[in-house]
Chains A and B, each alone.
Chain A
Amino acid sequence: MPLLEVRNLEVKFPLRQGELVALRDVSFSLDPGERLGIVGESGAGKSVAAFAILNLIGRPGYISGGEVLFEGQNLAKLSPAEMRRIRGNRISMIFQDPMMTLNPVLTIGTQMIECLQAHRRISPAAARKLAIEKLRSVSIPAPEARIDQYPHELSGGMRQRVVIAIALLTDPSVIIADEPTTALDVTIQAEIMELLLALCENNDVSLILITHDLGVVSQVTRRAIVMYAGRIVEEGPTREIIANARHPYTLGLINALPERTTPGQPLNQIPGVMPSLMDIPAGCAFHPRCSHSMEVCRCQVPTYTGGANFRVACHWAAGREQQ
């Protein structure tokens, strides 16, 4: 029984130039304790999907179709008061840049205690103790002092630890992490990722990890989704996708990894750029950049084909399967 199930999610942005469809027919599910990766370039719609789960899409965007099922409720249709009980409580979110995520004029303590007090009856003193414990659990030294400091007084890595601590404060079932290490120093990225992983395992928290970094996905997640131009183009066990990708885009991403290049040769690039969401090509959105594109790719949007635990939206891949 999946913990979280997204079905045919569609998100639109009515702009002055016209209506932009940011997410189209996005469906995936998350089992308890599972770690799912959502991969893709910037602009693919990964963050939109994450925000859509919590119904936090920035104005003027809105969920125009589909369902987000969690614990028997459709989150897309809940009232703001009901949604408040889920956000930060049953489903927490970690953003990309911890400097921008924490309010610069409030202390760490304030920002942690308010999260606890928003979701359960707890005295300020008890909340403070709990917050200090959580800071300790994310390996922040001298948490009793740190809790009264302001975000700018902490280093980038520590700030992200604080954000992770906040996410875990209320013992959520799901954590959505949107590029949690991208804004950090390379040397710290691994540390933070390991911390996140350990905490999720120890506290039995399901994780949705959104990233463009295939390396991280391969090490952290069990299943992965590849997105392109607002759609899911491939889904399956991470190991399977890395070793044996089916969609040309996924193949391109994997081949573009520096590890896959022979030394002395130029990096393998996918030619072209991802189309802007205002200008999505007809048929398969990837066809202008695809080396395997066929006549049908230009006019027909590929449907999902696949097996028990994977699927792919590609005419060429479907053809290969049949052979």
Chain B
Amino acid sequence: MIAFLIRRLGQALVVMLIISLLSFSIQDNLGDPLRELVGQSVSEAERQALRDTMGLNDPFAVQYWRFLKKALRGDLGDSYFFKKPALEVILEKLPATLELVFGATLIILFLSFPIGVYCAINPRSWFTKVMMGLSIVGISIPVFLTAIMLIYLFSIQLGWLPSFGRGATTMIWGYETGLLTVDGLRHLILPSIALSSIMLPLFIRLIRSEMMEVLEQDYIRFAWAKGLNRHRIWFLHALKNTLLPVITVGGVQIGTMIAYTILTETVFQWPGMGFLFLEAVNRVDTPLIIAYLIVVGLIFVVTNTLVDLIYGAVNPTVKLAGRQA
């Protein structure tokens, strides 16, 4: 277990270093911090002097090292637009994105497993056929289109649910949440559905096809031959084996989901990190862009390590705990 963790941590460190290097190079080449500080009328000589004082003429490696040190202290520069520390701005918006992802994940988990398992066990039922048909249509509709359609139907035509923003939020120990108010929850519904809309059919199909393959295996037949209860066969013997590839794919999809939050937040004007990032891009607010990349990179690395750990816990053939034969 320890060896595994150390290896994964080492890998994570390498990835974060690469991200930080990339981010730094971007910062170096993008936008001009001087322009934000001083106007046009400053002379060239004064500009160079200013650059020297700020350390902007030092060699790349030196500047990078300085960047790293500051980053580790949590200082990623100040956002040009907000005039506040970039990291602070990002972290303020983090809860919104987290809750959106949380909502979408709940939908995916609670719907994909039952439907996927049912379709695997009953491949010929009409429900299965309908689900399979719907799922192909589902994966063909991009996230932003689903979002637009949901807004059009539920907000404009029916007026049942709000179409933008996060609604009323409450602060708990410095964490701003929308989950504790009815208004906040109402605002969460459509964006969560939109975010889950393309991954839900994917998971249904994945679970169904993996489970169908598992059900053909010898060990399932042996379980039938032992005279076990069919629910035990389906939900323990088969499902546990189905989980393994699903966890693997799920881990990869986390990255996609984060990308999709950018799309969803844009359509719903959901005040999360993704929306912030897009605005930062449009304004060329470099520190904010960098801060987003680093925070998102960190999230990736952490969740991927967690997924690997979960996989190791479920799959006994992975030598996680160093069991001896």
Contacts and interface: CB of A to CB of B under 8 A. Distances in A.
A and B touch in the complex (CB under 8 A): yes
Interface of A: 54, 56, 58, 80, 83-89, 92-93, 95, 97, 100-107, 114-115, 118-119, 149-150, 152-154, 163, 166
A100 B227 contact: no
A105 B240 contact: yes
Nearest to A83: B227
Given A95-B222, A101-B218, A119 B227 contact: yes
Nearest to A105: B240
B279 to A, nearest CB: 47
Contacts of B241: 103-105
Nearest to A86: B227
B140 interface: no
Given A88-B227, A100-B219, A101-B219, 16 more contacts: A54-B225, A56-B224, A83-B227, A92-B226, A93-B222, A101-B218, A104-B317, A105-B241, A105-B315, A105-B316, A114-B228, A114-B232, A115-B228, A118-B232, A149-B325, A163-B222
7 contacts: A56-B225, A58-B221, A101-B219, A104-B316, A115-B228, A149-B323, A153-B325
A118 B226 contact: yes
Given A56-B224, A95-B221, A102-B219, A118 B317 contact: no
Interface in B21-36: none
Contacts of A83: 227
Contacts of A163: 222
Interface string B71-92: 0000000000000000000000
Q: Which of B219, B221, B314 has the most CB of A within 10 A?
A: B219
A85 B315 contact: no
B229 A152 contact: no
Interface residues of B, number: 26
B240 A87 contact: no
Nearest to A152: B317
Interface in B224-278: 224-230, 232, 236-237, 240-241, 244
Contacts of B315: 105
B316 A150 contact: yes
B226 A104 contact: no
Contacts, number: 82
Nearest to A100: B218
A58 B229 CA distance: 18
Nearest to B317: A152
A103 B325 CA distance: 17
Given A152-B317, A153-B323, A103 B219 contact: yes
Choose among A83, A92, A105, A114 the residue with the greatest number of B CB atoms under 10 Å from its CB: A105
A115 B218 contact: no
B131 interface: no
Interface in B306-322: 314-317
B222 A102 contact: yes
Output the residue of A89, A101, A119, A163 with the most chain B CB within 10 A.
A101
B225 A93 contact: yes
A80 B240 CA distance: 24
A154 B223 CA distance: 19
A322 to B, nearest CB: 44
B217 interface: yes
Interface in B56-108: none
